[in-house]
Structure 1
């Protein structure tokens, strides 16, 4: 790769990072997600204090908010790719950066750079709060025991954000993307598990269920479960597939 090409890619990535960092809704979404996580951690910890808490219980309680926390990262991904369409700024972007494939890829990479540290901090805050509040009833948590679920939670939130960004790029409108993704994660998938138990095992191969195995160890009586690596692999396949489709459509469609 030539120096000029490397400089162009760096400039495109810098521009995408600058747009994400300076977009007010991104900051508000992350701040709101952090506050929501602490509120949920406090609620789950308060409930957990009513019973005995072992090492695994603290991890489970600290990560219990993940089921709700992902909504903030879904919104984050959608805003990252849909915000430019709202006011027509996408035309300026494509005029300045005509290399559409590089531009959308750089946007996803910029989103990764922002999401990973934020997801780690937010997920860690829930575990830390729970441990501090339950330290008198808790066993000592080893680093390996804590870090693996924490890294898994960070990876899950990051992949969820990227998947949401890809679907946002496909739909190009914030509201439809929110309806589709939030509807799937919080309505369709939970109701399917309840009312169609016969296909429960197949749901393990969908992004939300597979992703949950990245950070939450299965119960001892749960059958046909995935390992964290299998859950990660399936989630990555879904994410990369949607990103690829989004890039293909992005290159062929009008702004």
Structure 2
């Protein structure tokens, strides 16, 4: 990767309004929904059963908006890759940067750096504002496992964007990419996670494994065979597989 290529990719991303808006929406939705759920959790805590109280995780509650916010991050990742295919600019880009590996790596690096910054800011904002809503039920950033969870929230968002970029590089179409990723993360993964026959397999899906990093309190009866960092590692393997697949297809086919 050269400085000129990276600079070019940065210019592409910031000059497209849709990518800027999706990142903004990621932050707003995640923080707002986290605050709302935290406020509701504070009101309903006295009505919880004993087991639910033992499993109550104030840190994870403040991240309740991550599930919806990640959808905006998925859109960002898809648009970063597919905008050039939609406009036909991909031919010009590949003519200017004939080394397709360098082209894709530069695009992913710039977009990931931006997603990581937004993800970290969003994660810390969601945590502190969520804890403010929880009041007496809140925890602090200095408690064991909390800082890891907050930092992990930012890393999770960046990995979601990278995974989406890999899938988009393989499919090239924004509609097809979003048509697969949106239902998968918003519906299919959640359904597989609650069905007894598929629950153990669903633990190894990217969102469920990666989301483990944001948990501080282990739910009663949870027998997940990996810890927070192990889950994030599983998610990283999914990301690597998606990006490698995107690169291989980009290298073989015409623009």
TM-score norm. by structure 1 comes to: 0.90
CA contact (8 A) 1:149 1:215 kept: yes
Aligned equivalents of 1:102 and 1:139: distance in 2? 44
What corresponds to 1:3 in structure 2? none
Q: Secondary structure at the match of 2:198?
A: helix
CA contact (8 A) 1:74 1:164 kept: yes
Aligned equivalents of 1:118 and 1:140: distance in 2? 22
Q: Could you say if the C-alpha distance between residues 135 and 90 of structure 1 is closer, same or farther in structure 2, counting changes exceeding 3 Å?
A: same
What corresponds to 2:11 in structure 1? 18
Moved more, 244-253 or 44-53: 44-53
What corresponds to 2:49 in structure 1? none
What corresponds to 1:235 in structure 2? 235
Report whether the alignment pairs 1:42 with 2:35.
yes
Q: Could you say if the C-alpha distance between residues 141 and 87 of structure 1 is closer, same or farther in structure 2, counting changes exceeding 3 Å?
A: closer
Query: How far off its partner does 1:172 sit?
Result: 0.6
What corresponds to 2:156 in structure 1? 156
What corresponds to 1:206 in structure 2? 205
What corresponds to 1:128 in structure 2? 128
The within-5 A match list for 1:139-218 is: 140-142=140-142, 144-194=144-194, 196-217=195-216, 218=218
TM-score norm. by structure 2 comes to: 0.90
The Cα offsets for residues 73-104 of structure 1, whole Å up to 9 and x where unpaired, read as 11111011011111111111111111111000
Aligned equivalents of 2:237 and 2:38: distance in 1? 34
In structure 2, the gaps of 5 or more residues are 47-52
Where does structure 1 differ by over 6 angstroms across 4 or more consecutive aligned residues?
Answer: none
What corresponds to 1:222 in structure 2? 222
Aligned equivalents of 1:104 and 1:203: distance in 2? 30
The Cα offsets for residues 19-45 of structure 1, whole Å up to 9 and x where unpaired, read as 112211111111122221232023202
The Cα offsets for residues 31-73 of structure 1, whole Å up to 9 and x where unpaired, read as 122221232023202202213699x632122111112221111
Q: Could you say if the C-alpha distance between residues 102 and 147 of structure 1 is closer, same or farther in structure 2, counting changes exceeding 3 Å?
A: same
Q: Secondary structure at the match of 2:175?
A: helix
What corresponds to 1:76 in structure 2? 76
Moved more, 140-149 or 30-39: 140-149
The Cα offsets for residues 149-173 of structure 1, whole Å up to 9 and x where unpaired, read as 0111111111111000010111111
What corresponds to 1:62 in structure 2? 62
Report whether the alignment pairs 1:32 with 2:25.
yes
Q: Secondary structure at the match of 1:107?
A: helix
Aligned residues: 247
